[in-house]
């Protein structure tokens, strides 16, 4: 071979080598990036090229599918009672992707999960259409309906869980939206999508307030402070006087921490302080426990950490660096303390479960198209915020709140109910409408099958009475639904 031909051959060989390197780089190194690129329409087309699997509640599918025409998307997802279940299912839209369980479990629902490789292979060999798997939830349909209908036109959220396992039984958020309204990719879907965005609707219907909105927890946080006081040994007898002045002067300041109305808070026992929701007592106790003790106890309950159920929940907050006066304010659920409804349901659940906090979860199992179980969730202990002895003391205090205190609207005949009301400040100088809270549990001879947290954003009263008036009746309905009373 002469020299010019040899050079051409070497050059062509280098081009082929470069092509092979580039192909392998694209297929293996950039595969993930390209598959998740929003401009890669093939990914979206593949999502809806076959029927998605269903999300299951109480053995029944709350999602489905229908065929579409005039589009390169073959199937469109449908939702039963869409607004009620939207905080659980999220949406699966041909134009706007997915969210919540539809998003987190997207690969399994579309059949692209590696765990479904065997099923895909069998379908390929037998000529069957590729199928998605089903997501079986822990949700209770009656409890969900009670939560959603209880909130009605009010803005707020409800979370109910089984304290014994951590299984989520209800998760409602209002105002809500209908995921059916923008499941396709037409001009109508675009109009409906824009209508529920925050820029168009200030109430932000697509916001999952149960998981993604943190609120000042107000007096419901006094449960955490009570737990810290018991665990630290600052209080051993819940019926002994706490040597608390009324009002309590915030440490290092001349600012009093007052109580709401004419309630008996001076030197009140911790039981009566919770019964009447005394700011002075719990502010003083929080300061006595100290910053480190309060942070430790709050974090045992799950504060300062995102939760994954498997959908992500925002982290609730208890500041780790504060002055003594701010520790006192934070200990009654004010200053920078914030919590999601999920977080406060976890607090109530840990107390009800004799001090053991179970990891919250909403997916019971993942089921293949051939109905075989691919993954099963096992209950898992998350932490131990209280000893069993102290948990029982706090249970007794919470039951007093319902029996003869501010939580009377949560009473259920023949059932032991513990609870705590709360009113959280809102706006500059507390000028906004306060948030009404109620957290509770119901206990039977078989243990405590349900703990509930309810927050109502648009209550009107400015005391803990609003928690009893607006939030406690909703919690009662949810607990009754779980107990099937």
Q: Hey, which residues are catalytic here?
A: 219
Give dist(CA 227, CA 125) in Å, integer: 60
Give dist(CA 220, CA 419) in Å, integer: 9
Contact 76, 61 (CB under 8 A): no
**How far apart, in Å, are the Cα atoms of 451 and each of 113, 163, 321?**
34, 6, 31
In the numeric block, the tokens 């803005």 are attached to 155
In the numeric block, the tokens 């925002």 are attached to 314
With a CB cutoff of 8 Å and minimum separation 6, the contacts of 215 are 338, 339, 340, 341, 424, 435, 437, 455, 457
**How far apart, in Å, are the Cα atoms of 426 and each of 313, 325, 326?**
22, 20, 17
In the numeric block, the tokens 């299951």 are attached to 56
Residue 115: Cβ within 10 Å count: 13
Phi-psi region of 127 (alpha: psi -120 to 50; beta: other; left: phi over 0): left
Burial class (CB in 10 A: 0-12, 13-18, 19+), 286: buried
Q: What DSSP element (H or E) covers 78?
A: strand 75-79
């Amino acid at each position: 071979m002469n020299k010019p031909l040899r050079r051409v051959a070497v050059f062509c060989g280098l081009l082929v080598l470069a092509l092979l390197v580039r192909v392998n780089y694209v297929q293996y190194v950039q595969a993930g990036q390209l598959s998740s690129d929003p401009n890669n329409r093939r990914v979206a087309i593949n999502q809806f090229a076959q029927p998605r699997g269903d999300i299951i509640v109480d053995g029944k599918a709350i999602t489905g599918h229908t065929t579409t025409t005039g589009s390169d998307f073959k199937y469109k997802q449908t939702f039963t009672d869409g607004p009620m279940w939207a905080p659980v299912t999220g949406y699966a839209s041909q134009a706007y992707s997915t969210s919540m369980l539809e998003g987190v479990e997207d690969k399994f629902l579309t059949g692209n999960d590696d765990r479904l490789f065997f099923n895909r292979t069998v379908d390929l060999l037998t000529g069957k259409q590729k199928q998605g798997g089903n997501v079986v939830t822990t949700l209770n349909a009656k409890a969900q309906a009670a939560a959603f209908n209880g909130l009605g036109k009010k803005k707020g959220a409800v979370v109910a869980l089984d304290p014994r396992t951590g299984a989520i039984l209800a998760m409602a958020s209002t105002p809500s939206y209908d995921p059916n309204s923008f499941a396709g990719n037409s001009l109508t879907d675009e109009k409906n999508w824009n209508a529920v965005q925050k820029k168009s609707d200030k109430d932000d219907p697509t916001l999952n307030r149960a998981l993604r909105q943190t609120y000042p927890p107000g007096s419901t946080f006094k449960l955490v402070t009570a737990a810290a006081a018991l665990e630290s040994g600052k209080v051993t007898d819940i019926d002994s006087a706490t040597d608390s002045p009324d009002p309590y002067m915030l440490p290092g300041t001349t600012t009093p921490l007052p109580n709401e109305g004419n309630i008996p808070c001076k030197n009140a026992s911790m039981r009566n302080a919770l019964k009447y929701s005394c700011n002075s007592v719990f502010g003083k106790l929080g300061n006595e426990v100290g910053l480190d003790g309060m942070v430790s106890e709050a974090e045992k309950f799950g504060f300062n950490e995102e939760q994954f159920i498997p959908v992500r929940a925002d982290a609730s907050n208890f500041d780790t660096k504060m002055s003594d006066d701010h520790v006192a304010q934070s200990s009654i659920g004010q200053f920078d303390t914030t919590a999601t409804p999920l977080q406060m349901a976890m607090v109530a659940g840990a107390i009800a479960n004799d001090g053991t906090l179970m990891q919250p979860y909403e997916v019971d199992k993942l089921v293949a198209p051939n109905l075989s179980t691919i993954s099963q969730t096992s209950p898992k202990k998350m932490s131990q915020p209280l000893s069993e002895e102290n948990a029982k003391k706090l249970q007794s205090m919470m039951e007093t709140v319902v029996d003869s205190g501010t939580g009377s609207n949560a009473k259920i005949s023949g059932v032991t109910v513990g609870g705590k009301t709360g009113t959280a400040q809102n706006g500059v100088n507390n000028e906004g409408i306060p948030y009404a809270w109620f957290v509770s549990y119901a206990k039977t001879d078989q243990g405590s099958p349900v703990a509930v947290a309810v927050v109502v954003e648009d209550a009107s009263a400015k005391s803990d009475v609003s928690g009893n008036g607006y939030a406690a009746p909703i919690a009662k309905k949810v607990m009754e639904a779980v107990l099937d009373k």
